[in-house]
């Protein structure tokens, strides 16, 4: 069974930093692209960042480029999102999401971890 | 970025009756490999999104056959043949043809 468990969310002041983690299990982690998708309270889904299965290629939404860094540790089956210079508009539930192999897209989602940026 | 527009944004439904949601993209979702990477997701209250349909019309593992998808190019539809109580939630279309992945605004289905 595919499982994705996020951690690391919490309350942080504007300008602060936070690192999210996603522990993956139930599948061959190093074969999949992985992504972060966020959802502000009561709002829709927004893709944030993605990383190739080997970690060498990364992509970011314009809104987080230069502030967020996605990475992965395939030996530990863990995905990360380092978030710096946080803003109030970054407040959201951050979901860890698995990329598909046989077609372009995403399939399994984690429950998410809430990040609140407020003074 | 490709903009995904869903209609309606809210859909009151009757149990046992059909329901339909439309999704339109700002440009064609046909990829250079010939496939169209349009998916539908369901988000029940308090739950993370769940994949229902991929590549326009393919049901994901475990998805009931009352859910079906259709369309081509820029216009797509999700249909529920007979709505059940567990279908209440928000439905999103999503494109993965072009980076970045983008989502529709969501359609709230309520009884």
In this complex, the residue of A44, A106, A111 whose CB is nearest that of residue B101 is A106
Q: Do B50 and A59 touch (CB under 8 A)?
A: no
Report whether pLDDT(B101) > 90.
yes
Q: Do A107 and B54 touch (CB under 8 A)?
A: yes
Provide the pLDDT for residue A107: 94
Residue numbers in chain A where pLDDT is lower than 70? none
The count of CB pairs under 8 A between chains A and B is 59
The candidate with the shortest Cα–Cα distance to B98, out of B40, B38, B51, is B38
Interface check B89 vs A, CB under 8 A: no
DSSP string, A15-58: T--EEEEEEEESS-GGGS-EEEEEE-TT--EEEEEEE-TTSS-E
Strand B67-72 relative to strand B58-59, pairing:
unpaired
Provide the pLDDT for residue A104: 86
Task: Return the sign of the alpha-carbon dihedral for residues B51, B90, B97, B73.
Answer: positive
Burial, A56: exposed, middle or buried (Cβ in 10 Å; 0-12, 13-18, 19+)? exposed
Report whether pLDDT(B50) > 90.
yes
Q: Do A44 and B106 touch (CB under 8 A)?
A: yes
Give the pair of three-digit tokens for residue B91: 């439905």
Residues from chain A contacting residue B35 (CB–CB below 8 Å): 103-104
Q: Do B48 and A45 touch (CB under 8 A)?
A: no
- Give tens-digit pLDDT for B52-95: 999 999 999 999 999 999 999 999 999 999 999 999 999 999 99
Q: Do A111 and B106 touch (CB under 8 A)?
A: no
Provide the pLDDT for residue A25: 97
Average of per-residue pLDDT values in chain A: 96
Provide the pLDDT for residue A102: 86
CA atoms within 13 A on the CB side of A112: 20
B108 three-state secondary structure: strand
Tokens 């380092």, residue? A82
- In this prediction, residue B51 has a pLDDT band, given cuts at 50, 70 and 90, of very high
């Amino acid at each position: 069974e595919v499982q994705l468990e996020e951690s690391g969310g919490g309350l942080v002041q504007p300008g602060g930093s936070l690192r999210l983690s996603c522990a993956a299990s139930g599948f061959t982690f190093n074969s999949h692209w992985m992504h972060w998708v966020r959802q502000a309270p009561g709002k829709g889904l927004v893709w944030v960042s993605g990383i190739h299965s080997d970690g060498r290629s990364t992509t970011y939404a314009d809104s987080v480029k230069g502030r967020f860094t996605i990475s992965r540790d395939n030996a530990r089956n863990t995905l990360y999102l380092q978030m710096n210079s946080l803003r109030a508009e970054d407040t959201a539930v951050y979901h860890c999401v698995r990329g598909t192999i046989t077609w372009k897209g995403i399939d399994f989602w984690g429950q998410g971890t809430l990040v609140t940026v407020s003074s | 970025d490709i903009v995904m527009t869903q209609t309606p944004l809210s859909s009151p439904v009757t149990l046992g009756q059909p329901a339909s949601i439309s999704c339109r993209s700002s440009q064609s979702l046909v990829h250079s490999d010939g496939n169209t990477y349009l998916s539908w997701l369901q988000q029940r209250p308090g739950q993370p999104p769940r994949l229902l349909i991929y590549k326009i019309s393919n049901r994901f593992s475990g998805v009931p056959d009352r859910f079906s998808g259709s369309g081509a190019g820029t216009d797509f539809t999700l249909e529920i043949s007979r709505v059940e109580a567990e279908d209440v939630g928000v439905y999103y279309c999503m494109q993965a043809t072009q980076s970045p992945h983008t989502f529709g605004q969501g359609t709230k289905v309520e009884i």
